[in-house]
């Protein structure tokens, strides 16, 4: 065999060895690192449940990875009298205004719904009944609207209402039952009148309680205390207590309002909200918690042209770490109960410019014990 042939065979053999080695290397690294990448992807997609030694070190397949840091935004508005008294001039009543707009039930909250859609829970004081009954209680004012008007709350992105106030029984038991039926039909939650509500938001339970509280009463206060304790025992991270109280037309909380509010916070309430005076009252910071004594009117069918149309949306934001409040902040969004000045068109509208500044100054002037100046941006408290 010539040297030339020997060289050719050696060359061919070397090429074969090189080719086999290359295939092996490609196969090895493809298998090893491709598998590694696949497992990395599975971990990122939370699809591996490592149960070595009985200890799970990763979420189960399909479980969402829980974020220990969350934030919940709550909005509150005052008296929503979505109805009218049959003794009023019906040509200018809330019910007639809506009917004249082809029964557009979104009309009432159309200028506020953008704010309410952006929060987690919106709460209103419902100071009317939804019924067709004509049998009313014997009192000066009785408010009602047909049951279909309850859908205005849904269209306005209002999630829950306080039903414990002095107009809940305007049309007796029939009116009350019709109201509850209408709220359920449109998936509006409610609380007050011995009913409690807990809603879970981003893993945090928020509880709501409502009462009429015209004076400090030991039996009523015991109930408030026990109800707060019950909601806390059911896992509520926040308990909001809503009171219907105070003196109509008064811009200042009376001594009993303050005593009741302080009692609620002393016994576990995280936020106290008030209504009934039909005008706004001050905000107080007490033991690191907020009390808003009166939110005033909001969507108010009780007067076709109230003298004072000022109101506001109170927003409270709670930051949580592992379901425990880590930081709280509050802001006021100035509103008018009407989109026009000379009458009430029953369409609450946010204020701007000088009117916005005026209402903020008004709230701050009524809030000497707040401890900071409230504005339309969130302020920690």
Is 236 inside a domain boundary?
yes
Based on the domain organization, do 77 and 44 belong to the same domain? Answer: no
Contact 348, 337 (CB under 8 A): yes
The pLDDT of residue 376 is above 90: yes
- The residue to which tokens 């100054």 are assigned: 361
**pLDDT of 151:** 98
99 and 188 fall within a common domain: yes
* More confident: 4 or 93: 93
Q: Are residues 257 and 349 in the same domain?
A: yes
Task: Let me know if residue 196 belongs to a domain.
Answer: yes
pLDDT at 20: 53
Contact 242, 192 (CB under 8 A): yes
Calculate what percentage of the chain has a pLDDT beyond 90.
82
Question: Do both 221 and 318 map to the same domain?
Answer: yes
- In 3D space, the residue among 298, 289, 308, 309 whose CA is nearest the CA of residue 370 turns out to be 289
Number of domains in the chain: 2
78 and 132 assigned to the same domain: yes
Q: Is residue 59 part of a domain?
A: no
- Per-residue pLDDT of 265-317, as tens digits, reads 999 999 999 999 999 999 999 999 999 999 999 999 999 999 999 999 999 99
Q: What is the separation of C-alpha 73 from the centre of its chain, rounded to a whole number of angstroms? A: 6
pLDDT in tens, 200-216: 999 999 999 999 999 99
Residues 50 and 75 in one domain: no
Query: Region 325-341: what's the mean pLDDT?
Result: 97
Residue 60 within any structural domain of the chain = no
Query: Cα 2 to the chain's mean position, in Å?
Result: 94
Position 66 scores a pLDDT of 63
**Structural domain range at position 261:** 69-380
At residue 116 the predicted structure's pLDDT band, cuts being 50, 70 and 90, is very high
152 part of a folded domain: yes
Other Cβ atoms within 10 Å of 86 Cβ, number: 13
Q: Are residues 49 and 187 in the same domain?
A: no
DSSP 59: P
Residues 244 and 372 in one domain: yes
Is the residue at 64 inside a domain?
Answer: no
Assess whether 184 and 327 both reside in one domain: yes
């Amino acid at each position: 065999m010539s040297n030339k042939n020997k060289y050719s065979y050696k060359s061919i053999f070397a090429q074969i060895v090189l080719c086999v080695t290359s295939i092996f290397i490609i196969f090895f690294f493809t298998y090893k690192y491709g598998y590694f990448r696949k497992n990395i992807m599975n971990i990122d997609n939370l699809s591996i449940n490592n149960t070595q030694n009985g200890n799970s070190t990763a979420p189960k397949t399909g479980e969402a990875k829980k974020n220990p840091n969350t934030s919940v935004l709550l909005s509150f508005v005052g008296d929503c009298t979505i109805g009218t008294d049959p003794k009023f001039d019906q040509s200018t009543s809330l019910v007639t205004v809506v009917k004249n707009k082809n029964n557009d039930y979104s009309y009432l909250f159309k200028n506020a719904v953008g704010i309410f859609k952006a929060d987690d829970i919106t709460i209103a004081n419902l100071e009317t009944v939804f019924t067709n009954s004509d049998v009313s209680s014997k009192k000066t004012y009785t408010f009602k609207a047909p049951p279909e008007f309850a859908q205005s709350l849904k269209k306005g992105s209002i999630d829950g209402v306080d039903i414990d106030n002095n107009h809940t029984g305007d049309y007796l038991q029939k009116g009350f039952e019709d109201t509850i039926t209408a709220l359920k039909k449109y998936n509006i939650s409610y609380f007050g009148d011995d009913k409690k509500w807990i809603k879970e938001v981003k893993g945090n339970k928020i509880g709501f309680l409502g009462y009429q509280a015209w004076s400090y009463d030991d039996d009523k206060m015991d109930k408030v205390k026990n109800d707060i304790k019950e909601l806390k025992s059911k896992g509520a991270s926040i308990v909001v207590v809503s009171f219907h109280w105070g003196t109509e037309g008064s811009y200042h909380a009376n001594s009993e309002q303050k005593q009741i509010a302080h009692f609620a916070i002393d016994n576990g309430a995280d936020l106290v909200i008030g209504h009934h005076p039909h005008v706004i009252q001050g905000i107080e910071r007490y033991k690191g918690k907020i009390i808003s004594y009166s939110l005033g009117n909001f969507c108010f069918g009780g007067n076709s042209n109230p003298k004072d149309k000022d109101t506001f949306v109170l927003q409270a934001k709670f930051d949580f770490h592992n379901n425990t409040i880590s930081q709280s902040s509050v802001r006021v969004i100035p509103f008018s109960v009407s989109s026009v000045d000379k009458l009430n068109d029953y369409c609450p509208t946010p204020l701007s410019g000088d009117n916005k500044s005026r209402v903020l100054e008004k709230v701050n002037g009524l809030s000497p014990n707040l401890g900071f100046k409230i504005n339309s941006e969130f302020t920690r408290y």
